[in-house]
Amino acid sequence: MRVLTISGLFTVQPGSGGSAGDGEHPVYALTPASRLLVGSVTNLSSTISMMLHPTLLTPLLRIGEWLRCESLDLCIFEQAHGEGLWELADHDATFDALINDGMASDTRFIMDIIVREHGEVAASCTASPPSLASHRRTPLSPTRSSTCGLPGAALDLFRRIPERSLVSWNTAVDALVGNGDHLAALDLFREMQRDTELAPDAYTVQSVLGACG
């Protein structure tokens, strides 16, 4: 506990009998940093677990070797693991869940700040998204207009990805579900089943069930 206190994860407060140094048992309390590891919306524990996972840390330990390479065609992650992050997530269910949980945790944290600090921006957005007909390979029929056009922009970006991993598909489907475009989410899920050999994981099923609810 002393190490964690010195590191700033906890603060020590005097016990009921006086100061922390007069023989009384100290009382440990959370600091602003450690409060980010508890709670619901502001909980970043999944993000921290992702950032500190050996799979992501190992490439950083080999940065010297990477810099000495004559060719930098491969990123540091690919050099360490022989494949890219999204390719690894495609066939490693545990790592895939780690990345999804970490990104979801970070998104909830950031969006909560945006809504609280700049909610007037979201409130003033128009309700009509730009047309994406020129980028769609199959028709998507949103059940209602997209707030601020964000899901439309996300789909536009999704369509531009040359090789879409399962994480990419999951993110796109979940974005449509979160926006209430349930029919479009189901259409996109059927497209994934029809046009790819990717097997749905727990996150895919969860998003699809959300579209059916």
Q: What digits encode the pLDDT tens for the residues 2-25?
A: 777 887 778 888 765 555 555 567
More confident residue, 143 or 150: 150
Do the beta carbons of residue 186 and residue 211 sit within 8 Å?
A: yes
Q: Determine if the pTM surpasses 0.75.
A: no
More confident residue, 108 or 183: 183
Q: SS3 of 183, please?
A: helix
For residue 149, name the pLDDT band (cuts at 50, 70, 90).
very low
Cα(32)–Cα(12) distance, integer angstroms? 13
For residue 126, name the pLDDT band (cuts at 50, 70, 90).
very low
More confident residue, 152 or 62: 62
Q: What is the pLDDT of residue 210?
A: 79
Q: SS3 of 162, please?
A: coil
Mean confidence (pLDDT) of the chain: 75
Residue with tokens 């999704």: 158
- State yes or no: pLDDT of 204 exceeds 90: no
For residue 109, name the pLDDT band (cuts at 50, 70, 90).
confident
Lowest-pLDDT range of 57-61, 120-124, 161-165 = 120-124
- State yes or no: pLDDT of 145 exceeds 50: no
Tokens of 42: 């502001």
Nearest C-alpha neighbor of 85 from the set 163, 182, 196:
163
- State yes or no: pLDDT of 179 exceeds 70: yes
Across the range 181-200, mean pLDDT stands at 87
Do the beta carbons of residue 129 and residue 146 sit within 8 Å?
A: yes
Cα(115)–Cα(122) distance, integer angstroms? 7
Which percentage of the chain shows pLDDT scores above 90?
A: 11
Cα(162)–Cα(177) distance, integer angstroms? 23
Q: What is the pLDDT of residue 22?
A: 54
